[in-house]
Amino acid sequence: MESMDRRSFIATSTGMVSAIIASTMTDELYAFSQGETVNAAVIGVGRQGRVILGELAKFPMVKVTSVCDISSRRLKSARRRAKGAKTYEDYRQLLDQEKDLTVVFVCTPTHRHAEIAVDCLSAGKHVYCEAPLAGTIEDAKRIAAAEKKSSLVFHVGLQFRSNPIYRLARQFMLSGAIRDCVSLRSQYRAKTSWRTPTSDPSREKEANWRLYEESSTGLPGEIGTHQFDVMSWFLNKLPVSVSGYGTNLHHRDGREIPDTVHCSMKWDSGLRLGYEATVASSYGGRFEEFVGTMGAIKLIGDFGWLFKEADAPTQGWEVYAVRQSFHKEQGITLIADATKLAKQGKLKEGVGLPHPPIHYGVSAFLTSVTTKKQSACSAALGLRSAVLGIKAHQAVMEEKEIVFEDDWFKVG
């Protein structure tokens, strides 16, 4: 199990929180050569693939040369976003014919990742693979093993790990800003059906793969994987068990996957995460929350806040901080590059992110490729986060507690 001595971290951190505030975590962190052209392909141009295409358009040195999808309708839509790109309905044909291809973005349904990702590595392409890495532990291990044998860059789309606000918040937490963590909470609420209408009954399970047990890891896997990963990343330790339950409380349309789930993850210290996810309500949205004896951190993707206890020590920088009120609580807004912005008199302009969170993951991947450095979001790390989601989904479906086994997290 992954672990780290907090005292060791603090001992090697100079200036503590003041230094953390001064750290550079915006796009400058991922600056890369503008003189190199990166030829890119996107495999799977559904909703997430189209988002990726939109982000790639922001990088002048990236040229999307090809797109692939089994749906001609989605390919037609993708052509409008990537003008001049060749289209393929079979990714094998794309890999065979696109000899000058540098990177491939795999944005297919989760249960299709393994074969495509491994074939892309075998073809000598750097790979960005959406998270979760795979729908089974076996498939996730297969991808991680292929990465281990390769010298290519493999990046898993655990976008929070590249998010400047989350990176800043994690350093606050590891520096002891909230002291001893006593409670973890996280939720995902979005009122949506998760259903894609189709006029062809034979395509029902293909189009709505998230709704069926044979192809989906449900809300804990497809969504919770990202949020569970944040928890283990911030704590520098994996949980020891997970329990859960779920049911369909709103969408009674024949789906096999619950529309509302509850999970509890436990760490060996006794610390627990309370997690809830639903596609039946949007109230409260999505967040991750860490509560400690000297403060709390709340994160919602584009924004983050530090709430300090009345008896928490002060470091002096607080007087310059941007604050927001939440009922009776007052949160210090987490701003990347706060020191630099404060000197420019632009501190309030730094609230939030200038780009969607996914932008920073794409940028980090391209940086790894152009600088020839391994990704901080490797397939081995993707395996660990996938295990958390897969087993949380199993716990929900079987309504029981599952103890994590060390072997599940190991690359073969």
- Listing DSSP states for 113-137 in one string gives HHHHHHHHHHTT-EEEEESSS-SSH
pLDDT greater than 90 at residue 207: yes
pLDDT greater than 60 at residue 410: yes
User: Could you give all domains of the chain from N- to C-terminal order, each with its CATH number?
Assistant: 6-25+161-356+386-398 (3.30.360.10), 30-160 (3.40.50.720)
In this prediction the pTM is: 0.89
pLDDT greater than 70 at residue 104: yes
Tokens representing 28? 């400058």
161-181 pLDDT per residue, tens: 999 999 999 999 999 999 999
Confidence at residue 340, expressed as pLDDT on a 0 to 100 scale: 53
273-298 pLDDT per residue, tens: 999 999 999 999 999 999 999 999 99
Calculate mean pLDDT across residues 47-54. Answer: 96
Calculate mean pLDDT across residues 44-52. Answer: 96
Report how far residue 3's alpha carbon sits from residue 7's, in angstroms, rounded to the nearest whole number.
Answer: 12
Calculate mean pLDDT across residues 384-409. Answer: 98
65-94 pLDDT per residue, tens: 999 999 999 999 999 999 999 999 999 999
Confidence at residue 156, expressed as pLDDT on a 0 to 100 scale: 98
292-348 pLDDT per residue, tens: 999 999 999 999 999 999 898 876 656 556 777 777 788 888 876 655 545 445 445
66-69-73 Cα angle (round to 5): 105
Query: Would you place residue 20 in the very low, low, confident or very high pLDDT band (cuts 50, 70, 90)?
Result: very low
Confidence at residue 318, expressed as pLDDT on a 0 to 100 scale: 62
Calculate mean pLDDT across residues 138-164. Answer: 96
Cβ-based neighbours of 309, under 8 Å, separated by 6 or more: 293, 294, 295
Report how far residue 120's alpha carbon sits from residue 13's, in angstroms, rounded to the nearest whole number.
Answer: 40
Mean pLDDT check: name the lowest of 25-39, 324-338, 344-358: 25-39
For the chain, how big is the Rg over CA atoms in Å? Answer: 21
pLDDT greater than 70 at residue 154: yes
Instruction: Answer for the pair 302, 352: CB distance below 8 angstroms, yes or no.
Output: yes
Confidence at residue 92, expressed as pLDDT on a 0 to 100 scale: 98
Query: Residue 408: exposed, middle, or buried by beta-carbon count in 10 A (0-12, 13-18, 19+)?
Result: middle
Confidence at residue 324, expressed as pLDDT on a 0 to 100 scale: 74
Report how far residue 384's alpha carbon sits from residue 137's, in angstroms, rounded to the nearest whole number.
Answer: 9
Confidence at residue 284, expressed as pLDDT on a 0 to 100 scale: 96
Confidence at residue 232, expressed as pLDDT on a 0 to 100 scale: 98
Report how far residue 11's alpha carbon sits from residue 360's, in angstroms, rounded to the nearest whole number.
Answer: 29
Closest to 299 (Cα-Cα) out of 177, 221, 186: 186
Count of C-beta atoms within a 10 Å radius of residue 392: 30
Report how far residue 252's alpha carbon sits from residue 280's, in angstroms, rounded to the nearest whole number.
Answer: 11
pLDDT greater than 60 at residue 7: no
Give one DSSP letter per residue of 32-88, joined into a string.
Answer: --SSS-EEEEEE--SHHHHHHHHHHTT-TTEEEEEEE-S-HHHHHHHHHHSTT-EEE
Give the CA distances from residue 232 to residues 27, 47, 87, 135, 271, in Å, rounded to whole numbers and listed in that order.
Answer: 25, 28, 39, 20, 12
Point out which residues pair with 261 in neighbouring strands.
Answer: 246, 277
Q: What is the largest CA-CA distance in the chain?
A: 64
Mean pLDDT check: name the lowest of 116-120, 243-247, 345-349: 345-349
Count of C-beta atoms within a 10 Å radius of residue 358: 19
pLDDT greater than 50 at residue 18: no
Closest to 127 (Cα-Cα) out of 341, 400, 365: 365
Confidence at residue 39, expressed as pLDDT on a 0 to 100 scale: 97
pLDDT greater than 70 at residue 40: yes
pLDDT greater than 50 at residue 23: no
Which tops the pLDDT comparison, 366 or 33?
A: 366
138 sits in which H/E element: helix 137-149
Q: Is 180 left (phi over 0), alpha (psi -120 to 50) or beta?
A: beta
pLDDT greater than 70 at residue 151: yes
Percent of the chain scored above 90 by pLDDT?
Answer: 77
Report how far residue 379's alpha carbon sits from residue 157's, in angstroms, rounded to the nearest whole number.
Answer: 10
Calculate mean pLDDT across residues 21-29. Answer: 40
Point out which residues pair with 287 in neighbouring strands.
Answer: 187
Tokens representing 101? 């291809």
Count of C-beta atoms within a 10 Å radius of residue 346: 11
233 sits in which H/E element: helix 224-235
Alpha carbon distance, N-terminus to C-terminus of the chain: 16
Instruction: Answer for the pair 321, 205: CB distance below 8 angstroms, yes or no.
Output: no
Cβ-based neighbours of 388, under 8 Å, separated by 6 or more: 224, 225, 228, 229, 232, 238, 239, 242, 265
Mean pLDDT check: name the lowest of 44-58, 212-226, 334-348: 334-348
Query: Would you place residue 26 in the very low, low, confident or very high pLDDT band (cuts 50, 70, 90)?
Result: very low
Query: Would you place residue 8 in the very low, low, confident or very high pLDDT band (cuts 50, 70, 90)?
Result: very low
pLDDT greater than 50 at residue 64: yes
Percent of the chain scored above 70 by pLDDT?
Answer: 86
Calculate mean pLDDT across residues 42-55. Answer: 96
pLDDT greater than 90 at residue 54: yes
